[in-house]
Every structure is written in C-alpha cells, then in structure tokens.
Structure 1
C-alpha cells in the first residue's frame, strides 16, 4: 500500500521539488494550492481571491475525503508561501498584507485542521516559518503572517493544542532558499548564503519517511553560511 502525503503549496518551488522526490519514492501525492501540479496524483485547487479561509478549509477537507475514500494521510506538509514588500506608507499596504495572510497563514491553518480529520494516528505534520524573525519594517505583511505561523505552531504543539494523539509535529524555519524565483528576484545576491533547494527537499523527505527522527514539538532553524547548511533545533 502506497504512503500518502499532502504537499500544501505544491505549485511553489519547494512544493514542486518535494512532489518530484516523493513521486520518485512511490508516495501517493496530493497537491493543494492555487494552481495544479501535473506531477501530483491528486490536486485540490483553491482560490485566494474568491474563497474565504472557511470556504477553502471546507473545500480542502471535502475533497480530501473524496480522494482518500476512508483511508488516511501519512503526512501533511505545508510549504505554501509568498513574499511581498510593503511598509506602512505604501498605498497598497493593506492589499499586500492581506495577500501575505492568505498565502502564508491560511494554508497553515487549513493544513493543521486537515490533520485532525484525515491524518493517520502517529502521522506527521510540518509547518513552515522563517529563520531569525524580528521586526520587518519593509515587508510588514510578510512578517506578520510568518509570526502568526510561529504562534500557531507553538500553540498546536503544546498540550491540549488539538492535534490527534501521537501526531508527530515540527516546523522548519528556513532562511532564503536557493530557488529559480529567488535568483530571478535577487540576481546580485550571494547564493553561497542561501539554502540549496535539493538539500532542503531531501531533509524534509527524511523527516517524513522516518530516516531522521522528527524533533517533536520543535522548530528547526535552517541557515547556510559560505556554502555550509546547518539545522538547529530550537
């Protein structure tokens, strides 16, 4: 019987990389996002513009129920994200802040709720925060959304957080990931200080398949300096 995994954010750079690797290892992948992923066995497409958090959540759960047909997921990995600049003085500040909440926080909320419905006992849930989060005056909406994900994780990983019994849960806190989109957006950056996409993908897969023990209830800060990547449990 194939293992089943949800990749929330399956049309993003990290999501696509994860789906490719899980497929190579014969996992049955369900991709959730605003666009379908042609490699995934199943796709659940949601709309940030037309659907509220509640509507998206109900749609994801209903579609998951149909896909699973009484079975359960082994793992739910939320790697959905996005990035917008925007300080308080920008005319479109509220628009960009709203976009960050919809692209970053809402998927984490839905993925967490989905785990209470369709994750196996002892299954694995992973959320994605960001390394070294402090004040973000130039991109406030992004910072708010990531801070909220950190709060969500700390809350659900705590006693009485609502996760099913024996759920393995962790969050990653990556710094900048070396993706084609990031290179396009920041062509003059020092790429030796960025996390290699393939390395991060393999690491997440190893947490998921049990090759590496999940640091239960912890966040893992991931940074790269001079080409060397570290994974630090917080």
Structure 2
C-alpha cells in the first residue's frame, strides 16, 4: 500500500518540485493549493484547490477530504508560506500578522487536522535559517518562522513515538522568483529545491524514523542530501 503524503503550498517552486519527486518515488501525493492546481499530472498525484490553510475550517475540510479518499495519512509536509522584505522602520503590525498567518497559521492548522488521521507518520515543517539569525529586512518573516521552529520542538515531544516531527531551515532557495527578485546576487550558496526534497525523503524513510525534533540547516554546504531522489 502506497504511503499518502500531503504537501501544502503545492504550486510554489519548492512545493511543486516536492510533489513531482515524491510521486516518482511512488508515494501517493495530495497537493493542497491556495489557488488553482499546477500544470502537473501524474497517476500518484491529486490536488485540493482554492484552500486557504490559514483558515481552520478550510484546513480541517481539506485534510478530512484526504483521509476520506485515502484513509491513513502518513506524511505532512508544510511548505505553504510567504516572504516580505521590509526594514523594521517600515514594518507594520499588519505585516507581522500577515506573515504569521501565511507561515505559521497554515502549518498549525494543517498539522492539527492531520494528527487526527495519523497513527504513525512524519511531519516535516519548512522553517528558515532567518529564524535563527535574522538579517535586515527580515523581522516579520523571521518572527513567523521562529514560531514554526518552537512549534516543531514542542510537538516533537508531545506526539507518540510512532510520529516524528522535524524541520528543515533553508537559507535562500534557488527559485526563478528569487533570481528575478535578486538579479545581482551570488547564487552559488543558494539551496536547490532538489536538495531540500532529498532531506524530506530522508525524514520520510525508515532510516529517518530515528530523527525527531531535528532542525536541518538548509545551506548549500550543510545540506548535502542524505538520499537520492
């Protein structure tokens, strides 16, 4: 029986690459999208469209739909989120609340809903190295991602031994949008989406079951990828 993996933020660069590679690893993948589903079809993939996971009822309904269709949920990969760059002088409380909603509430609601359908499994949260060492312009983003880290730590100590909870903390991810936004940046240290997916696959594997409450720093040098995808 194929293991069912839910991927949030399935239309973004990292989310879509995750969906594609997990499908090819023979997982059953359900991508949750805030808007329309991406232009990628595979026998192992289905999507739930127009779902705002920051709204509890929508998250509950989406996860229940997965469970009703597939039964047991083995994995949840929380990728949904967003980023803004603003100095603290220009940052408003609304900016902080919006980042918290996109980066924390989506993860919190999806995780709480999925736990009702997990008796063993893996939860993987995408944090950010900025949550450990925030640079200028990253206050609102770093605050929201710091909450992801603390939630991961706490939940890893509350779940049964059969459920692991880990986080991956990327630095700058090498995506078309980031290259567009930072055309003059040195991209040599940026992290490729494929490297992050390798880390996810490790956590989903039998070998990865020993890891719980772990924070994988996602820089190009630190994340070598523990398995091939």
1:154 positional shift = 1.3
Q: 2:151: which partner in 1?
A: 152
Contact 1:129 / 1:173 at 8 angstroms: preserved in 2?
yes
Cα distance between partner residues in 2 of 1:77 and 1:148: 16
1:221–1:231 contact (8 Å) kept in structure 2: no
Shift of 1:143: 1.2
1:49-60 → structure 2 map (5 Å cutoff):
53-60=55-62
Residue 41, structure 1, aligned to residue 37, structure 2 = no
SS in 2 for 1:46: coil
**Secondary structure of 2:74 counterpart:** strand
After the TM superposition, list the runs of 4 or more consecutive aligned residues in structure 1 that deviate by more than 4 angstroms: 211-214, 228-232
Shift of 1:206: 3.1
Distance 1:165 1:44 in 2: 33
Q: Counterpart in 2 of 1:66?
A: 68
CA displacement 1:119-145 (0-9 Å, x = unmatched): 2x2211111111252345523221111
Q: Is the 8 A contact 1:81 1:104 kept in 2?
A: yes
Q: Is the 8 A contact 1:222 1:230 kept in 2?
A: no
Deviation readout 1:90-122 (Å, 9 max, x if unpaired)? 2x7233323211221112102321332122x22
Unaligned runs of 5+ in 2: none
Unaligned stretches of 5+ in structure 1?
none
CA drift at 1:201: 1.6
More strand by share: 1
* 1:148 Cα offset (Å): 0.8
* Cα drift, residue 195 of structure 1: 1.0
User: What TM-score results when the alignment is normalised by the length of structure 2?
Assistant: 0.84
- Is the Cα contact below 8 Å between 1:44 and 1:60 reproduced in 2? no
Q: CA RMSD in A?
A: 2.5
Number of aligned residues: 220
Deviation per CA, 1:24-44, whole angstroms, max 9, x where unpaired? 223211111312234331325
3-state SS, counterpart of residue 87 of structure 2: coil
